[in-house]
Structure formats: structure tokens, C-alpha cells
Structure 1
Amino acid sequence: MVTAGVRRLGYGALICLPPVLIALDVGASTFPGGTTIPWHPVMVDLDVYRLAGQVLLDGGNFYQLPGPLQFLYPPFAALLAVPLAVLPLALVQVAWTVAGALMIVAVLHRWGQTGWRLSLWSAAVAYAVLPVSQTFAFGQLGILLVALVALDLAPGPRVLPGKRLLPEGVLTGVAAALKLTPMIFVLYLLAVRRWRAALTATISAGACTVLAAVILPGASLDFWGRLAHGDTGLGGSLIYYTNQSVYADFARVFRLAPLGTALGLAACAVVVVLGVWAAAVWHRAGEVRFAVALCGVASLLASPVSWLHHFVWIVPLAFSLVELTRQRMTKSPMSGPTSSIREASSMSRAKPVLPTWLIVLGWLFVGWVVVSPYRRLPNGGDLELQWTAGQHLLAAVTAILGIALLIAAIVVGRQIRPDQAPAAFDK
């Protein structure tokens, strides 16, 4: 007799199979020159991670790699790249892609998707959502960063029923040690007075960073020293058209002049404030998943470098909008006995309703990122510095829509009365 555990495992494998197969095909065949059969993907970013890990093992400087693409992450990320370097290439490529697909499934499950819907939505996201498909094609770690934070901070169904395996904040701290942008979530945790989670995330990030500094003191001093002087390691490539951050918009308009740098950094700081504010407002309203997604969007806009494939946060944002749209549709005025009216009133207090115009704005942002019309602009070879005003405006629509969404979320969230927010929610 098949046990319940085996049946559950088999059912889970069937759910995961379509998105995994789609991810493997997308990851291998999207980049020019790559093929699925025979297996020959061209995962340029994954190759950089592997090369960095190999150079580290050889005792070299992994911040000065041969070739045009450089390793730009903190030293802790280089430590984690070592296993990628020692394992066979095909195994690493397949395992990396499968892991990314499973993370998409896990995030959508946390956002309330189950059964065949979870399987089909995950497969659709892997295939049709440009930042996700590009992440698979490049072998990037963007999905990993989103999954670490989302599964750490967002409430919802868990793959393994019961209490969380790690204290809240640990995975967010690890994500921040891999790449600095998730540190915005520490500010979010402080804003909503989740002191223990904020402290845990900070300690986790600090412990990973100190560990890397002990093992790699020279590289750590090099990385943090350059970063303190504002050197991201990208140089003039910051202006490349797929960099959709607020900073990049200012850098392109002002042609990398100091004034543009100063204005760009100031704008990034403003976006951080708006993102944390919006997330805190909706956290207190009980919509924690929406809050986490908003903060994730802010982390992309506020980072000096956010290539198109970094915008994986639009996936949890989209499913938050689906959830909030469903709530709006189920909260139409009711008629009937007094008890039914009381029940409807109680439901209305339990979950605030998002106005239609804000839902539309959210979908405009998601749709713009997925379609990315600015990809038709002249690009490469510093052509971005020769754009017309209209072309600069087109490239800045991502930031404009994203900032508008954050501001609108603040305005709407602040109008929610205390009695509309639930007293508690599942963590």
C-alpha cells in the first residue's frame, strides 16, 4: 500500500514537472546559440559564477576575471560559487535551472496557488514573464534572491506544514549577503516593528559577511573599499538601456556627469523611503504579501543597477494583484437578513479593498516590465547617451510607473481605518 507521504511526494512531483521542463527548455534555447537537444545552453552569468569560484580556488583575484563580464557580488557569493566550479558543467546548468523552477513554484504556492493552477501558472511564468525567462537563460540568481526573501517574510501556505524551519529574518540576511539590495527589507521590518526579525536578518547578513572576510580578507577589503568610494565595478555600462533603475535614468540623461550621479543617488534614497513606507502601510493593513512585493519593487528601482532580468519581483506583485482583485469582486454589496449583513460587514473589516484604479496601475507596471517596449531603442556602444528627450522618457517609464505605484499604495493604504485591518495574520 502506498503511504500518504509517497502519494504527496508524487503529487508534488507532477505539479513541478511542467514548470521544470519549461524552465529547462527556456534556459537552454533562449540565448542565441543555445539548444535544448542536444543540451547546449549559453548561460553567460552562470559561467561568470563558475569562473569566479575557480579563480578563488586557484588563489587568484575573482574581481579581475579574464573576459568582458566581471564578478560583481560580495565575497560571500564567491564562496558559494566554489561548488559550481568543481561540479560538471552540465550538472550545474541543469541543477541551477531546476532549482530556479522549483523556487518559482514555492513562491506561487506561498501566494496561495495550489494543485493544477500552481503547476500551470508556474509554467506560464517560466515561459512568458521576460525577467524570469531571461534569468533562466543567463543562469542568473535573481529568482534565488526573490525566493529567499519572499519565503522568509511573506505569510501563506507552506510546502512543509507546521512551523518555519528557520527563524524569520535568516533567509533575508543571507540574500543581503549575496547581494546588497535585499537590505531594504531590514528597514521594512524595522518600520513594522518586527524587531527580532530585523535583528536576525542583520546578524545573518553580518555573519555571512564576516565569514567571507575571515576566509577572503584581501578580496573583502577590495570589494568593500571600492563600494565605499561608489565604484560598482560596472563603470560606464551603467547607462546600458536594460538598466531600468532610477539611478540609470539620471545617469543617461546627465551623461554620467557628477550632477546626474548626485541626483540619481538622491532619487534612490527617496525610492527607498517610499518603498518602505508603502510596505509598512500595507503590512499594518494585513496585506503582508502585497507589502513584501511592494518593497521588492522598491529594491529594484532604488538599486543603481537593475537589469531587466532582475525584475522577478513583478511575479509576486502580479499574484498579489490577482488576490486583491478577487477580494474586490467578492465584496459587492449584499442584501438579505440582518445576520448576512453583519457577516458582510465583518468580511469588509477583515480585508481592505484595493480601488480599481490602483489595481489597473499595478497591472500597467507589471505589463510594461513584461513587454518592455524600450528594448527597441538604440543601444550599445554608448548610443544611450545620444537619445532624444522622447527616448529618455520611454526608457524611464519603468521607474515612473513603479514610483507612481508606490505613491498610490501609500495614499490608498493610509486611508484604511484601523478597524478594517485584521488583528492578526499567519506568519
Structure 2
Amino acid sequence: MPVHGTAGLPPLRERLRDHRSLLTVIAVAELVAVMVVSTVNTHDHIDGEVYRLGAKALLAGRDLYNGLPATESGLELPFIYPPFAAIVFAPLALIPKAGSTAVIMLVSHLALIATLYVVLSASTFLRAHRDKVLLVTAAALPLATISEPVLETITYAQINIVLMALVAIDCLWRTDGAKKLPYPRGLLIGLAAGIKLTPLVFLLLPLLRRDVRMIVVSLLTFLGTALLGFALTFDNARRFWLQEMLASSNVSFGPKFTGDASTYAGNQSLRSLLSKMSTQSLTVVFGLLALLALVLAVAGMVHAVRQRDLPTAVTINAIFGLLVSPISWSHHWVWAIPGLVLLIGAAYVRRNWGLLLATAMTAGFFMMGPHWKMPQGDGLELTWNFLQQLIGNAYVYFGLAFLLYNAVLWWRSRRTVIDPGEAAPETPRTAPVP
């Protein structure tokens, strides 16, 4: 099924032939990137192993949330997801660990490609150059693969990229003309939230667009995943929704995680930033910062929606969620990659060299993962000096800057008559743009 805006484009085979040499170079670069990811510290793929152990416990009728076997590296880690996630992971229990890890890594890689493609397909800066979407996607892929959030996600065999793809496709995938999507919009967000609760934050976008249907579909799908959990494993479902969900921020640590989760270097959230600065309770300060982040996010999303720039609106929504979450491990920041791609594309098209330079420098931070270079573990984060606080919380400051930048765009345009331009594809008639 064609993506919105692809009508009239040359056939895919012809487009590939036109860029054969460049695509070959990019393919080699991506192969090198995959090899780099495969040779760095694999963290024993412990998250993927926990998924598999949880699935095996489910199939054996055992307790998901107490007494899981230790991983092959000897770590006793909990299963912190809803029972529906264990149902989804069930096929992993039927194959050896190496096979399940390979499946997760392959699916994650395909999900990264899908995310970049749908984001770029719906981007405003490629609106007049739809024939370049495939090429730009391919060009962005190697750098995205070796970025710290993506690399950490793949080496932990995490599912962050898969969840990102589900949300991106649900919000951004469009079809030509009168053709309908093969599913009701909102279904994929509901499924993603059934696996891990945090994708529910993406209901902010349809709320701003007054897309009641998408909200209802998402919530009903999410409810369906919960009911399926009760139907298949009642005791586990009851324990998760009545106990574990409320205690999900009290996570156990892996091999690198020694100390308090709220202050650990790998936690890149507003609450963690404040916890690293002071041992005293800063609940009120966090509440004010979270409220400020919400105001900035809403302003930026309103502006993006008015400009028919849904990829930016979705990314703003994601960054807001990462900032206000109690725990946002650095590998949760995979959403920064589409955000950086969108900023670079917009800056280049507008010839905004200052923004392009700033974004390129920020991208460098996401390649390095500077928080891992700081003193960490056993409370060492509490000893950081001013410069270390800036570097060690770089993702948080990028998130705030991203929200502020888009809010400023809203502020500048609030009295400007907006040219509707190209109609937003598949905008429901019952969901007017704010």
C-alpha cells in the first residue's frame, strides 16, 4: 500500500537504480555500523533474556513477578511489564537464547528503518521531494544505528525501537486518496501501551487534535490487552495491576547499575537531574518543571500540527514523556534520533546554518553518550561538579531545548496568519486542528 504522497513517483526499482552507487556505499556503511554494534559490550543481552525468562514462566504457569531464574550471567532481574508483554514474548521461549536475541535485534533493526521512513515520508522538508525519502532514510540509517540510545537498545536486546515504530506508524502512516488503513488508527498505540505502559503519553497528540476516535481506539485496545492478561494468567495480571504497576519505579539493577535509580548516570529524566543536584526532596520543583515542560510541549505541538508537521508533533510528545518519566534510561531516548533528523532536515532546507551546527553538535553527544564518561555508581553522581552536571545530563538539556525551540516557533507565529498549505492527510473531519 503506498505511503501518502507517493502517487506519481517512479517505481521503486527505478528509484533504486538511479541511486545504485550511493546506496551501495550506504549499505556498506550500515554493514560496518551493524558490525560495530555487534562487537561492543553486549551487556549479555540481559533485557532480552528477561523477556524470554518471563515468557517461559508464563507458559509454565509460574509467577511472573517473583522468583524468576537468574540470567546466564547470574543476575536476578525482575519482569516489570504487564502480562500482555509476556504473551507477546511467548515465541521467544520456544527457541534458544541466541535465537531469541537475534530475533529481537533483527526486529529492532527493521523497526528503526520503518520509523525513519515514515517520519521522513511525512516530513515537511521532503514534501516536495518524495522521491528522495528512500535515499535520505538509507543515509540516516548508519548514523542512527551507532547512536548511543539505539546501540544500547540493541545490545541490551531491548524493545524501545519496536515501541517507537508502533507509535510512529500509528501516527504518521498515510495512504493515498480514499484508501483506508488496514486497521483503525490508535490500535498500535494501544498495543504498545499494553506491552509497556509509557506509550499512553502519546494520547496527548490526538487530544490536542481532538481526534476522539483515535483516543477511544487506543484506550479500548489497551484495555483489551489487560483483559487478555486476566483471561490467560489471572493471578499474574492481578498482581501486576494492583501491586507491581505502583512499584515499577523501584527497579533492580543490572551489572552497571549500582546505587539509586533516581541518581544513576544512565537515568536521563527531569527527576533524575534534580536528584543528582540535591539529596533533599525537590518534589515541588519537579512538579513545576514538569508543568513547564507540558506547557512548552503543548505550544510546540500546536504549532507543528498547524504547520501540518505531524512528525515533529509526535517527537515533541515523545520528548515530553521522556522528561517527566521517573526513569528514562538513556536507551529510552531512541526518539531523539528522529528528532535530530527532523531538525537537520529543516535547518538545511531553510539554510539555517546556526541551527544546523547546533543540531550536529547535539548529535555528537548522542553518539558518545557523555553520561557514561562521568563518575557513576555508588552515589558518585552526587559529587558531580557544575560541568559534569551539564555533560552528564546532556539528554535532559537537549530535551528541554527541543521543547523550548518549538515553543518559540509557536510564539513567533501566534499572530501570523497560517497558510493551510497541503491538507494534513487523513485528518478526521471530527478532529479539527487546534
Q: Paired residue for 2:261, among 237, 241, 250?
A: 237
Amino acid at match of 1:402: G
Higher RCO structure, 1 or 2 (CA under 8 Å, sep 6+): 2
Instruction: Report matched runs for 1:155-194 at 5 Å.
Output: 155=173, 163-194=180-211
Query: What is the alpha-carbon root mean square deviation over aligned residues?
Result: 3.4
Deviates more, 1:361-370 or 1:399-408: 361-370
**Counterparts in 2 of 1:324 and 1:308: CA distance versus 1, 3 Å:** same
Describe the superposition over 1:102-147 as per-residue Cα deviations: whole angstroms up to 9, x where unpaired.
Answer: 1222222221354454334323321x31211221111111101110
Aligned to 1:345: none
Aligned to 2:424: 425
Alignment TM-score, normalising by the size of structure 2: 0.78
Alignment TM-score, normalising by the size of structure 1: 0.79
Deviates more, 1:310-319 or 1:227-236: 227-236
Q: Paired residue for 1:251, among 275, 281, 294?
A: 275
Amino acid at match of 1:43: H
Q: Distance in 2 between matches of 1:358 and 1:302?
A: 25
Describe the superposition over 1:136-172 as per-residue Cα deviations: whole angstroms up to 9, x where unpaired.
Answer: 11111110111011111125689xx954222211111
Aligned to 1:289: 311
**Counterparts in 2 of 1:141 and 1:22: CA distance versus 1, 3 Å:** farther
Say whether residues 1:223 and 2:240 are aligned partners: yes
Amino acid at match of 2:169: L
Aligned to 1:30: 40
Amino acid at match of 1:60: R
Runs of at least 5 residues in structure 1 that lack an aligned partner in the other structure: 34-41, 330-354
1:270 is displaced (CA, Å) by: 4.0
Q: Distance in 1 between matches of 2:27 and 2:62?
A: 40
Deviates more, 1:103-112 or 1:214-223: 214-223
- Give the % identical residues: 26
Q: Judge conservation of contact 2:80–2:244 (CA < 8 Å) in 1.
A: no
Aligned partner of residue 148 in structure 1, secondary structure: helix
Q: Judge conservation of contact 2:82–2:240 (CA < 8 Å) in 1.
A: yes
1:390 is displaced (CA, Å) by: 4.2
Q: Judge conservation of contact 2:201–2:321 (CA < 8 Å) in 1.
A: yes
Amino acid at match of 1:426: P
Q: Paired residue for 1:150, among 161, 164, 168?
A: 168
Amino acid at match of 1:271: A
Q: When the two structures are aligned, how many residues end up with a matched partner?
A: 386
Amino acid at match of 1:217: F
Aligned to 2:221: 204
Instruction: Report matched runs for 1:14-163 at 5 Å.
Output: 21=31, 25-31=35-41, 42-64=44-66, 65=68, 66=70, 67-110=75-118, 111-112=120-121, 114-126=133-145, 128-155=146-173, 163=180
Q: Distance in 2 between matches of 1:23 and 1:226?
A: 41
Q: Distance in 2 between matches of 1:143 and 1:200?
A: 22
1:397 is displaced (CA, Å) by: 3.4
1:367 is displaced (CA, Å) by: 3.7
Describe the superposition over 1:24-61 as per-residue Cα deviations: whole angstroms up to 9, x where unpaired.
Answer: 5345322258xxxxxxxx31111111111112222322
Amino acid at match of 2:150: V
Aligned partner of residue 265 in structure 2, secondary structure: coil
Q: Distance in 2 between matches of 1:60 and 1:267?
A: 42
Deviates more, 1:105-114 or 1:290-299: 105-114
Amino acid at match of 1:252: K
Describe the superposition over 1:328-382 as per-residue Cα deviations: whole angstroms up to 9, x where unpaired.
Answer: 14xxxxxxxxxxxxxxxxxxxxxxxxx6666655555444333332321111122
Runs of at least 5 residues in structure 2 that lack an aligned partner in the other structure: 1-9, 18-22, 122-131, 253-259, 427-434
1:20 is displaced (CA, Å) by: 7.5
